[in-house]
Every structure is written in structure tokens, then in C-alpha cells.
Amino acid sequence: MSGIKGKVVVITGASSGIGEATARLLARQGAHVVLGARRTDRLEALTKAITADGGSARYRALDVTRREDMQSFVEFALGAFGRVDVIINNAGVMPLSKLEVLKIDEWNRMIDVNIRGVLHGIAAGLPLMKKQRSGQFINISSLGGHKVVPTAAVYCATKSAVMAISEGLRQEVGGDIRVTVISPGVTESELAESITDPFSQKAMEDFRRIAIPAESIAKAIAFAIEQPDGVDVSEIIVRPTASDF
């Protein structure tokens, strides 16, 4: 099933940023989008906007750190549309700080959302895709998965893990199921709002002055989805032209 029109696409972290932009773009291109996040008020508004524009969308509250929640979310999509063609594991957090500040709760939150969230998405979707003998996982990593910088050691570690998990999955399921990693550079989103460390907040303000729109990442995701079934776009890095990182 090549192209985008008619595909059922599940998106985590869909209430803002890259997730929201991707939902809007794919719906315009004819996909059935199923949106998950914790902020259901935003999901409801987004679903209404997509529907009003002639698109097809459903939403459900989702906490990706809970495996049973992710399982129910995928089953919800299956019940609504009869299949699941693409799972976009997009939910992520980025509370940056130097290791010496010892924000251990924030480290654990990044591990839970950025790594376990992706694994839960794979666990929920893989049996279904194997039964269908088709499907695609699109896992959102980061440029930080390629390069480590001060204040981002744990975040970069989680995004490196997403890359390793994705490559392992690709090697294991190649043939019927595609696996894509999208690694954004600095992008307009609410990720930076989770930073509580003052030093890191100031550094991020300066860093984000060249941020690209979330729709730029959505277009990369759409490109990976629309390829023929026999073509697996393994990874795309998207960053500002002016970026030196």
C-alpha cells in the first residue's frame, strides 16, 4: 500500500509541535490520523479542525509511559479503521540540565517517555503489523542522537537509544515492515518549555533563534510514508540551514 491516501496513521505526542503539524499535513493528504497525547482538550480542538477541513481524524488520551495505555490506543485505531499502517512514535520531553545539578526525576522522565514510550509503541504495533504483513514505524530521534552537548547528556542518550532500537527493529522485521528514524535539529515546539534549569533555559533561548517550523519535519515524515512499499527510508536528518550543530 504505497502513498499516503487511505493509510491509517497513529501519532503520539500529537497535541502540539511536530505531532500536530504531522497530523494536519497527513490528513490533508488523505490519511486517517489517530491522535494521542495527555492534553485531550488540544486533541479535541485539532480533531475538529482537521474534520472541518475535510480530513479524517480520531483522538484518545494517551500516556506513552504506560504500556497498557499504548496498547489500548493502537486497539482504538484498529477498531476505528480496521488496520494500522503507520505508528509515529513522536512523544518526547527535553528537560535539559548539567549532570551535576542532579535532576534525577527529570532524567527518569526522559528515559520513561523518550525510550520506554517508543518501546511501548513498538510492542503495541508489531504483532498487528506482522499479522497484516505490512506497516511502518516512524520513530522521532533528534540531532542530539548524533552529537552530545553539555546539559543534554541524558537527552542525547535517550535519542541515541531510539536510533539503536530502530536499527535493531529494522534488521529483525525487514521485508514487510518498514522502520524510519527522523532526527530533527532545532525545531519550533514546546519541548524547551520542560526545561527547569535556569542556565539551560537561557542557552536554549539563544539556540532556538534559528528554529525551523514543525511542518518541515512533518514533510520529511510524509516523504518517508509515501515511498513504495519496497523502499524503506531508514533515516532523515532535518535541521536549519544556519545550524552549526
Q: Cβ contacts of residue 242 below 8 Å, gap of 6+?
A: 210
d(CA 88, CA 121): 8
Active site annotation includes 59: no
Q: How many CA atoms lie within 13 A of 83 on its CB side?
A: 15
d(CA 20, CA 152): 25
Give the full edge-to-edge strand order of the sheet including 135-140.
56-61, 32-37, 8-12, 86-89, 135-140, 177-184, 235-238
- The catalytic residue among 43, 114, 155, 161 is 155
d(CA 136, CA 227): 11
Annotated catalytic sites, by residue?
A: 155
